[in-house]
Amino acid sequence: MIVDIKNTTRKLCVIGDPVLHSKSPLIQNAMIRALGLDLVYLCQPVKRGEGAQWLTAARVCGYAGFNATMPFKEELLPLMDEVEPFARQCGAVNTVSIRDGKYYGANTDGPGFLQDLEKFGLSLQGLHTVVLGAGGASKAVCLALAEKGAKVTVCNRTVKKAEELCKLAPESMTPEEFTINKLCKLSGEAGLVVNCTSLGMAGTAGEFEDLSFVDALPSGAAVYDLIYAPAETALLRRSRERGLAVSNGLGMLVWQGVLALERFVGGPVDRERAHAAALEALGEG
């Protein structure tokens, strides 16, 4: 990836611990180049607990902004001068833009998920949705779905965490156990299933022990897996073989990046062009 760096070029980056696996530099530099922006996007390891020092360093070094991944999304929030409502609701920021010495926090994970979901053409209002998992990614997905009027059931191995999450929007979200019986029962009525657990992710030991709940889904249902490595998890394969609409999480990853770039430049960009350039860089174009 060749980026034309000039004396005027503003810096962006992703911070995390660990962060070297991040696809954000590839995605963002592809978009920056496609849009002809005078920006460069770097990978910046920052040690756990040093988020506050990094904020000062980024401002002093003239960064236009940065993305944050584990473990910084929560600890940055109280350090922002302004936070968008969705990020505040999530209690987490993944995008910080720096203007006139001030920090503006946003969370583009939820909006990025919704943007990618549009390809299914689902009407989310009142849609019965089963979300698997209750971690940080699940929180962004659940709150985004709830905001669009979906009826979300959050199934988590640790039910207590699902209960905590559902307290954020109790009128739209219900906690449940993560058992095959429960999943089969819920699937009968579900229009959408979203996997936000790490089950099926490359490099982790865990796989779904039983995917029979997929067979219980109505024929018009869609299955979205936030995992994109591997490109097709066992959950997606089983769902595709059943003829259901399926998607991995690559589109969400790209869309959250497009929406972050809009925060960094302080206005709209050519979204479709940016999205296409990022997918091409990822080898998916």
- Interface residues with ligand ATR (CB under 6 A)? 133-138, 156-158, 161, 178, 196-199, 206
| Closer Cβ to ligand ATR, 40 or 117, answer by number | 117
Tell me the residue number closest to ligand ATR, measured at CB: 135
Query: Which residues, including other chains, have CB under 8 Å from residue 238's CB and lie 6 or more apart?
Result: 211, 214
Distance (Å) of CA 48 to CA 16, 18, 114: 8, 9, 30
Task: Compute the least distance from the CB of residue 179 to ligand ATR, in Å.
Answer: 10
Cα 145 to Cα 99: distance, rounded to the nearest angstrom: 31
Task: Compute the least distance from the CB of residue 44 to ligand ATR, in Å.
Answer: 20
Pairing of strands 192-195, 222-225: parallel
| Closer Cβ to ligand ATR, 194 or 274, answer by number | 194
Cα 122 to Cα 251: distance, rounded to the nearest angstrom: 16
Residues 222/120, Cβ–Cβ less than 8 Å: yes
Q: What are phi and psi of 277, to 5 degrees?
A: -65, -40
Task: Compute the least distance from the CB of residue 60 to ligand ATR, in Å.
Answer: 30
Measured CA angle at 221 (ends 216, 224), to 5 deg: 105
Amino acid present at 105: G
Residues 259/65, Cβ–Cβ less than 8 Å: no
Here the tokens at position 102 are 């001030």
| Closer Cβ to ligand ATR, 115 or 197, answer by number | 197
Beta bridge partners, 72, equal none
Determine which one of 23, 73, 148, 161 is catalytic.
Answer: 73
| Closer Cβ to ligand ATR, 26 or 159, answer by number | 159
User: What is the chain's Cα-based Rg?
Assistant: 19
Task: Compute the least distance from the CB of residue 49 to ligand ATR, in Å.
Answer: 18
Task: Compute the least distance from the CB of residue 24 to ligand ATR, in Å.
Answer: 15
Our answer to whether residue 11 is catalytic in this structure is: no
| Closer Cβ to ligand ATR, 63 or 213, answer by number | 213
Residues with catalytic roles:
73
